[in-house]
């Protein structure tokens, strides 16, 4: 099997469908430290939707709101609420990537086409993945504009919180569908199974989940895929599927080089995080050994630590950023470890279940 049959280069951007892009942009700028970068809407000649593009280092978010009742985003919003619609890839050749994807079993979402303005031309297509999520395929190597054709530069400097790049993006799928979508990413995109977790790894007294992490050959694009496992009560995956109305992106992990500073900044910006019991930190030194950070420094922030054979990582999870208990974010710093915090799963699950209980959804 070819290692990279579509010649994927990187994640170009992540597009959200949101109910009010102007207000969502304000939130991500002021809470997470993104900067406004580009804009498309009525003022730029776009009549049926508006999109605000935000950046922080290598992370690029596009927030889109429909302006016309006939725009397909309306259906998406009615069913899912605010959420991720598109995980877009930069590719060498859109036509070759699209043809290869369809030949390998992908369902087309958007046929290859060109977009052009005074800054040049971009080629674009899209394929369907789990739920109503798509993967756009974009070739913009000769384009000199701020984002894509039809967008105008609209700078709105934010106060960076040190978020550097997208580490991984997690999808939740229905019971029995995890293997299907893991096989899809292997067959269509040439990804490989990087690591798997079963209900013995990720469980509490009440609920459990299973997960397969799919990765490209360079480990720069990683997509864990979760499905619920049987438990006494409703798992976080089932809660997500219920309130999202089906499969979709559960969380986006963003990497930092200084999690203490990043999380401190995010907390000052009133971003809400899950917190684990104090006993977690009493047991931490015996479990992970020596780390560079002082326990007294990370405990007030709620930062979690896990170690594997390659090193250790530090991570922390926000509470859902929507009214529906769906999308949330992970902040992660890697110090050698390429894992996903297996040693933190139990403490994290218990913290999530406490929030579920408050919502009446456990």
The pLDDT value given to residue 204: 56
| Same-domain check for residues 51 and 93 | yes
| Same-domain check for residues 221 and 342 | yes
Per-residue pLDDT, averaged over 67-96, amounts to 97
Domain boundary among 108, 135, 156: 156
Average pLDDT, the chain: 91
Q: Phi/psi at 324 (nearest 5 deg)?
A: -75, 145
| Same-domain check for residues 62 and 184 | no
Does pLDDT of 211 surpass 80? yes
The pTM of this model reads 0.93
Per-residue pLDDT, averaged over 10-27, amounts to 98
The pLDDT value given to residue 343: 64
Does pLDDT of 155 surpass 90? yes
Domain ranges, residue 18: 8-156
Q: Identify whether 3 is part of a domain.
A: no
| Same-domain check for residues 212 and 341 | yes
| Same-domain check for residues 142 and 184 | no
CATH of the domain at 352: 3.10.180.10
Distance CA 356, CA 348 (A): 12
Please state, as a whole number, how many other Cβ atoms lie within 10 Å of the Cβ of residue 301. 20
- Encode pLDDT of 300-336 as tens digits: 999 999 898 899 999 999 999 999 999 999 999 999 9
| Same-domain check for residues 65 and 213 | no
Domain boundary among 129, 156, 183: 156
Q: Identify whether 125 is part of a domain.
A: yes
The answer to whether the beta carbons of residues 35 and 55 sit under 8 Å apart is yes
Domains of the chain: total: 2
Q: Please write down the HEC assignment for all residues of 107-152.
A: CEEEEEEEEEECCEEEEEEEEECCCCCEEEEEECCCCCCCCCCCCE
Residue count (the chain): 362
Distance CA 96, CA 99 (A): 5
The pLDDT value given to residue 195: 76
Of the candidates 74, 186, 73, 81, which has an alpha carbon nearest to the alpha carbon of residue 129?
A: 186
Q: Identify whether 2 is part of a domain.
A: no
- Encode pLDDT of 286-297 as tens digits: 888 999 999 999
Least confident range from 3-7, 84-88, 100-104, 195-199: namely 195-199
The DSSP code for 196 is: E
């Amino acid at each position: 099997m070819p290692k990279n049959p579509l010649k994927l280069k990187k994640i170009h951007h992540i597009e959200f469908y949101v109910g009010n892009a102007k207000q969502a942009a304000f939130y991500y700028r002021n809470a997470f430290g993104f900067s406004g970068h580009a804009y498309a809407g009525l003022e730029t000649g776009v009549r049926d939707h508006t999109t605000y593009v935000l950046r922080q280092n290598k992370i690029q978010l596009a927030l889109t709101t429909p302006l016309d009742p006939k725009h397909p985003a309306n259906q998406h919003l009615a069913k899912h609420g605010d959420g991720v619609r598109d995980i877009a890839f930069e590719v060498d050749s859109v036509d070759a990537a699209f043809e290869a994807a369809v030949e390998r079993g992908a369902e087309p979402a958007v046929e290859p086409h060109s977009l052009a303005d005074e800054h040049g031309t971009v080629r674009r297509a899209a394929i369907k993945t789990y739920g109503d999520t798509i993967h756009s395929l974009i070739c913009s190597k000769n384009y000199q504009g701020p984002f894509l054709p039809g967008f105008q530069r609209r700078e709105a400097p934010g106060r960076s919180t040190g978020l550097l790049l997208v580490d991984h993006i997690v999808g939740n799928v229905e019971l029995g569908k995890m293997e299907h979508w893991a096989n899809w990413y292997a067959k269509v995109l040439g990804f490989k199974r990087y690591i798997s977790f079963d209900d013995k790894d990720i469980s509490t007294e009440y609920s459990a989940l299973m997960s397969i992490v799919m990765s490209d050959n360079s480990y720069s694009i990683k997509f864990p895929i979760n499905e619920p496992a049987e438990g006494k009560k409703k798992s976080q995956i089932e809660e997500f599927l219920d309130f999202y109305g089906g499969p979709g992106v559960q969380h986006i992990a963003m990497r930092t080089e200084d999690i203490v500073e990043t999380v401190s900044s995010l907390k000052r910006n009133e971003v809400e995080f899950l917190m684990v019991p104090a006993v977690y930190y009493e047991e931490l030194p015996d479990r992970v050994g020596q780390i560079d950070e002082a326990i007294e420094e990370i405990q007030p922030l709620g930062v979690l630590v896990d170690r594997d054979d390659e090193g250790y990582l530090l991570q922390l999870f926000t509470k859902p950023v929507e009214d529906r208990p769906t999308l949330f974010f992970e902040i992660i710093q890697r110090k050698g470890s390429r894992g996903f915090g297996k040693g933190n799963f139990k403490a994290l699950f218990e913290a999530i279940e406490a929030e579920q209980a408050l919502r009446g959804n456990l």
